[in-house]
Amino acid sequence: MREYRKYAITMAAFSAALYAAFIVAAFGVLSLLLNRDVINEADAGALLGPIMVTIAVLALVWVILSAVLRSPERLTQIPPLPIFVSGVAAYLGYCISGGVVYSLGAGELFRSVTFIGAEMTSPFAIAIAVSGWLIAFLFFLVLLAKPAGSGAPKWPWEKNDNN
């Protein structure tokens, strides 16, 4: 079971990197197609977007890892609830963290509430949720594809053959 958990943690790290790359690509394509900026606020600052994406990635990793590490045994099927929750957690983490960080910079609570409302309806936040569902599904699919008891591949001279 320990090897399975190490494998799940490794796959979660690769999923986080893939999710971040997918978000950057989705934001670029949406920004070009819609001819608008990801964050429309002029006084938002340069770090607001990366902080929001980082929180979304961390929320996704937290949900998928907690689903795997809390189960007492190996998963035998793809769990739909953690996939759904991971997309929602990434979406909410993206929007709420953006509002909190924006209010720290702007100093006005009402502007942060309007920022959160505007972000929740933006196509970029929807892309966060949809890509979160996709990455979580792929994470569980890859996790289930590894057969039980299969360790790391070995070179021919590492195998204990008595031939």
The identity of residue 161, as a single letter, is D
pLDDT tens for each residue of 82-93: 999 999 999 999
Query: What is the extent of the structural domain holding 49?
Result: 2-149
Is 154 inside any structural domain?
A: no
Rounded distance between C-alpha atoms, residue 130 and residue 148, angstroms: 30
Handedness of CA 10, 149, 151, 1 (dihedral sign): positive
45 Ramachandran zone, left/alpha/beta (phi>0; psi -120 to 50): left
Is 54 inside any structural domain?
A: yes
Is 109 inside any structural domain?
A: yes
How far from each other are the two terminal CA atoms of the chain, in whole angstroms?
A: 31
Q: Which pTM was predicted?
A: 0.86
Is 134 inside any structural domain?
A: yes
Is 158 inside any structural domain?
A: no
Cβ 93 vs Cβ 58: under 8 Å: yes
Is 46 inside any structural domain?
A: yes
pLDDT tens for each residue of 19-66: 999 999 999 999 999 999 998 887 877 899 999 999 999 999 999 999
Q: How many domains does the chain have?
A: 1
Cβ 62 vs Cβ 86: under 8 Å: no
Is 162 inside any structural domain?
A: no
For the chain, give the percent of residues with pLDDT over 90: 56
Q: Is the pLDDT of residue 158 over 80?
A: no
Is 10 inside any structural domain?
A: yes
Q: Is the pLDDT of residue 149 over 70?
A: no
Kindly report the length of the chain.
163
Three-state secondary-structure class, residue 7: helix
pLDDT tens for each residue of 76-134: 888 999 999 999 999 999 999 999 988 887 777 888 888 899 999 999 999 999 999 99
The identity of residue 71, as a single letter, is S
**H helices present in 35-146, as ranges:** 48-69, 80-106, 109-120, 123-145
pLDDT tens for each residue of 63-77: 999 999 887 777 888
